[in-house]
Structure formats: structure tokens, C-alpha cells
């Protein structure tokens, strides 16, 4: 992996991040980016008819074993923020009604991390290649 990926994490550390993340999700304090730069997210949500309720359920089901790595964000809006990458494998029904096993690429930032006030999901789409899980 390139130097921008950090795999130097403990289960305890990622468990704490997931706890804060799920607190945000449970309290409806999350946004999935769906702007012009995030067409993959829009296409994924539409292909699998992922309502807000289904999105929320998928996010709340994330576990430590779904974790892959972190990255430092290069976006000037969130300077030096840590991006957390998870890639769960889930069963989803596509728009044609067929069930598929899909690895979902989920990348998020916890805004105001110390207070876990909200989270921004930058990526929420089908993985383009299989991601390696850190703790499996």
C-alpha cells in the first residue's frame, strides 16, 4: 500500500471510532455525499433502492472486522481530517429484484470528533476491487 494508507490501528481504537460513528447514525446526524462529484454514491443508492432507513441499517451494522484502513484527507474543507474506510460484504436486492452479495466501500469523516457531533460519508458505493480487511 502507498504511504497515504494507515493500517496501524488496534481493535480497541476502531471499536471506539465505530461507537462514535454509530452514535451519529443512530441520532440521524449523518449525510451521504450525493453531489456531482459523488455519482457512484447516487448510482449505488438507486441501483439497490437504498432508502434512508436501509442506509441507516447498513451503517449501524458495521463492525470492526469490516475495517480496512484510514487516510489523511487532502480536501481543504477538512484539513488533516482522518478518513475511515470500511468494506462490509452485504446482501442487497438490485432494482431488478435479484439478490447480490456486494462489498460496499464506505469512507467517512467524523466531524468535531471529540464530541462526535456528526459524520459525513464521502463514499458509499460498491467497491471497484476487493478491499482487504485489517482484522480478519
Tens digits of residue pLDDT in 79-129: 678 899 999 999 999 999 999 999 999 999 887 654 557 788 899 999 998
Residue 49 sits at φ, ψ, to 5 deg, of 45, 55
Residue 2: pLDDT over 70: no
More confident residue, 12 or 37: 12
Residue ranges of E strands in 1-136:
5-6, 30-32, 67-72, 82-86, 89-93, 99-111, 118-126
Q: How far apart are CA 104 and CA 2, in angstroms?
A: 21
Mean residue pLDDT of the chain comes to 89
Q: What is the pLDDT of residue 13?
A: 96
pLDDT at 115: 54
The model's pTM is 0.90
Question: Mind listing the domains of the chain with CATH numbers?
Answer: 5-126 (3.30.2310.40)
Amino acid at each position: 500500500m502507498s504511504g497515504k494508507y494507515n493500517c496501524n490501528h488496534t481493535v480497541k481504537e476502531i471499536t471506539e471510532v465505530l461507537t462514535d460513528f454509530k452514535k451519529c447514525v443512530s441520532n440521524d446526524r449523518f449525510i451521504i455525499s450525493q453531489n456531482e462529484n459523488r455519482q457512484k454514491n447516487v448510482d449505488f443508492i438507486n441501483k439497490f433502492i437504498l432508502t434512508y432507513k436501509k442506509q441507516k441499517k447498513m451503517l449501524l451494522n458495521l463492525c470492526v472486522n469490516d475495517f480496512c484502513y484510514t487516510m489523511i484527507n487532502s480536501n481543504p474543507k477538512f484539513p488533516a481530517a482522518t478518513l475511515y474506510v470500511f468494506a462490509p460484504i452485504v446482501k442487497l436486492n438490485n432494482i431488478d429484484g435479484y439478490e447480490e452479495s456486494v462489498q460496499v466501500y464506505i469512507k467517512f469523516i467524523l466531524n468535531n470528533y471529540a464530541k462526535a457531533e456528526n459524520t459525513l460519508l464521502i463514499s458509499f458505493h460498491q467497491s471497484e476491487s476487493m478491499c482487504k480487511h485489517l482484522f480478519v
